[in-house]
Amino acid sequence: MRLNSIPIHRIRERGIRAPEDYDIFFGSCPQGVCILDHAGVVQYVNPAYAQIFRQNRASMIHANVYKHLHDELAIDALRMKKYTKGYLQTHIGDQKIHAEASPMFDDGEFCGVIVMYQEHEQTDNQIVDISGILKKEMKTNPFPEIVTQDQRFIRVLTQAKRAAQTSATMMIQGESGTGKELVARAIHKYSKRSTGPFVAVNCGAIPANLIESELFGFEAGAFTGATRQKKGKFELANGGTLFLDEIGDLPLELQVKLLRAIQEREIERVGGTQPISIDVRIVTATHCQLEEMVDEGAFREDLFYRLNVVPVELPALRERTMDFPVLVEHFTRKTSKSLDVEQPIMTDEAMTYLQAYDWPGNIRELENVIERILIFVDDGYIDVNDLPRNISKHYTLQKSSQPTTGLVNLSAFNDVASFDSYEREIIELALKKHGSFNAAGKVLGLTHKTVAAKARKYGLRD
């Protein structure tokens, strides 16, 4: 069977995973075939591959391309998630092998690469370029300022960019540190208001008694200390975009005034009597579950629907598994340049520890950790010993293979953790599995307010 007669798309349709199933397609191919998952672990090799490289097929399964095969072309394809081709020089008779690697995507999510090998004597037209089939599933990142190759995240950003062309209000939701302001700035940059100002306000960082004057400005003599007139953020953002971060922290009495400003497109300064017309595009962001706050009476329902015309949900770092090595590389390179030091090399073991960590602070925490590491590393390599203790300790607990008793999981050394550590893990697990404070509370036998308070205590939703 020639390779160009194989219906590659049927692999995804049938959900084939077992080696004997792959043999249906590749068992009699004259070219060597190797299928690697997203981590570089061999899932399948066909008989032709075993013959070309003089390998035992059974021993190849579950081998790691980084540790055992040293196939640089396959490694490049895994790292870049792009179609790659070239030649390999083997130790077997100095034979030259032509190889082509194509990324595989399942519903837009990167799941590995398929590599085709042929001896140099074979004609080039015997190799099929399957990249055209697989690349149809890939989408291009619409915001180059945001580092990502995660196809699900790219779909979110694509919708955000499309909505940016309109005048609709947009609400960016996501955990603290997921890059909400970065996305808001990208929305402004690619909107029709890009030549206007971008004004950002953190509603949670301004005292309640000052936020009204910050947003709407004030007239001279409006209150003690108001010796002169001052424009508020709405006026400063006129003709551009006003980004209201942590909108869930806006006091109820100010929510009424914000709703009126959006509806009427005019404001009044504190102490003023004349309305001022405004032309502002509102983009908000929050880490709170505003729907639950509406149910509790802590956030106005009519304002919520005004602000949530176009929702943009940002994934947490732990959900962007395909992006992690790319982000580590990006921040290592960026921070090395800012610190004026040579960029160190991250060992595979250190990367494994980093990937096993939950990253409650998301992208912001990762960037800070990379900076801390680079300040102290001095031998050109980032190894496990260079990582913060909370990250290495977390991995030690995660990789424990000791049998557990009852519901309590001990570390590899049978250590008992603090009660807060267990409580944090339980709350985090319930929120991951059930999504909301209400649902998690029902499972745990707690009120949703208690779950919300504990989530804030342990930084799970902050």
**Residue ranges per domain, the chain?**
3-135, 151-313, 319-457
Show Cβ contacts of residue 436 under 8 Å, excluding neighbours closer than 6 positions.
289, 292, 448
Q: Residue 457 and residue 247: Cα distance in Å, rounded?
A: 20
pLDDT, tens digit, 9 for 90 and up, residues 313-368: 999 998 887 788 889 999 999 999 999 999 998 887 888 888 888 899 999 999 99
Which CATH number describes the domain made up of 3-135? 3.30.450.20
Q: What distances in angstroms separate CA 454 from CA 193, 288, 326, 421, 462, one per listed residue?
A: 41, 14, 32, 12, 11
22-44 core/surface letters (b: 16 or more CB in 10 A; e: else): beebbeebebbbbbbbbebbbbb
pLDDT, tens digit, 9 for 90 and up, residues 54-79: 877 877 888 888 777 778 888 888 88
Fold of 151-313: Rossmann fold (3.40.50)
Question: Do the domains 3-135 and 319-457 sit in the same CATH topology, yes or no?
Answer: no
Q: Residue 121 and residue 193: Cα distance in Å, rounded?
A: 59
Q: Residue 317 and residue 330: Cα distance in Å, rounded?
A: 14
Q: Is 431 helix (H, G, I), strand (E, B) or coil?
A: helix
Taking alpha carbons only, the member of 365, 356, 428 closest to residue 393 is 356
**What are the backbone dihedrals phi and psi of residue 42, each rounded to the nearest 5 degrees, phi first?**
-70, 125
The widest CA-to-CA distance across the chain, in whole angstroms, is: 91
Fold of 319-457: Helicase, Ruva Protein; domain 3 (1.10.8)
**What are the backbone dihedrals phi and psi of residue 284, each rounded to the nearest 5 degrees, phi first?**
-115, 165
Query: Alpha carbon 273 to chain centroid distance?
Result: 47
Q: Residue 333 and residue 330: Cα distance in Å, rounded?
A: 5
Instruction: pLDDT tens for the chain, 462 residues: list them.
Output: 333 333 444 444 444 455 666 887 788 888 899 999 888 888 889 888 888 888 778 778 888 887 777 788 888 888 888 888 888 766 454 567 888 988 888 777 788 899 999 876 544 444 444 344 334 445 678 898 999 888 889 989 999 999 999 999 999 999 999 999 999 999 999 999 999 999 999 998 998 888 999 999 988 887 887 788 889 999 999 999 999 999 999 999 999 999 999 999 999 998 888 899 999 999 999 999 999 999 999 999 999 999 999 999 999 998 887 788 889 999 999 999 999 999 998 887 888 888 888 899 999 999 999 999 999 998 888 988 899 988 877 655 555 444 444 555 544 444 566 777 778 888 888 888 787 888 888 888 888 888 888 888 877 864
Show Cβ contacts of residue 121 under 8 Å, excluding neighbours closer than 6 positions.
none
Extended beta strands in 5-153, E state = 32-37, 42-45, 84-89, 96-106, 109-119
CB 256 within 8 A of CB 210: no
Taking alpha carbons only, the member of 438, 436, 442 closest to residue 460 is 436
